[in-house]
Copies of this chain bind each other. A is one copy, B any other.
Amino acid sequence: MTLDLLSLIHMYPELLAHINKFVRLTPAEELLVCDHIEPKKLKKKEFLLEAGKHCHGNYFVVKGCLRLYFINYKLNEQILQFGIENWWITDHDSLMTGQPANCYIQAIEQSDLLFLNEKSRVELFQKVPNLESYFRIMALKAYVAAQRRIGFIFNQTEEERYRSFTNQFPGFVQRVPQYMLASYLGFTPQFLSRLRAKKD
């Protein structure tokens, strides 16, 4: 039993380390959480979710990079969020309303994920109240980031927005294709090329 417990905990060290950065779980609680996790691997360009389908839970990124996007009225892909190591990704809108997703979640790189089914998550909150604290904090952090982004969109020029994003996330900017970065920042790939050319 003890050996089983230890081996289970050690299966998901990245996730447990991340949770324990914000709240404290006992070994028994860690075991319970790990017991509800399903690992998932995605190849590059593979989809985790497609518009029209239901979203069933949250994904923690152990390794890799994903994007959440929808198709806008000009039939372009509009990226709303990226997910990299130690981030959760899901379509919260679909999960909250119970409606089919309007968006797509796709792997930009080959990715290792940990899936937590929504039903399991809510059941776990009863047994592991600190896990609910953790997800409350995650939701707040995501909200604060989204509000900051709205502030930037309204109050920075496109060039300022690009510069501040690259200063904040220099490694990430090297990791994603240029047209995806342009989509996230809300301008055309051509505009981004001109900005990059200007840089040096």
Binding site for B on A (CB under 8 A): 70, 72-74, 78, 80-81, 92-93, 96, 125, 129, 132-133, 135-136, 139-144, 146-151, 153-156, 186
Contact = CB atoms under 8 A, between A and B. Distances in A.
A146 B153 CA distance: 13
Contacts of A148: 93
16 contacts: A72-B155, A78-B151, A78-B154, A80-B147, A80-B150, A80-B151, A93-B147, A96-B141, A125-B129, A125-B133, A129-B129, A129-B132, A132-B133, A139-B139, A143-B146, A149-B150
A99 B156 CA distance: 22
A80 to B, nearest CB: 6
A153 B80 CA distance: 11
Nearest to A160: B73
Contacts of A141: 96
Contacts of A93: 144, 147-148
A143 B78 contact: no
A155 B73 contact: yes
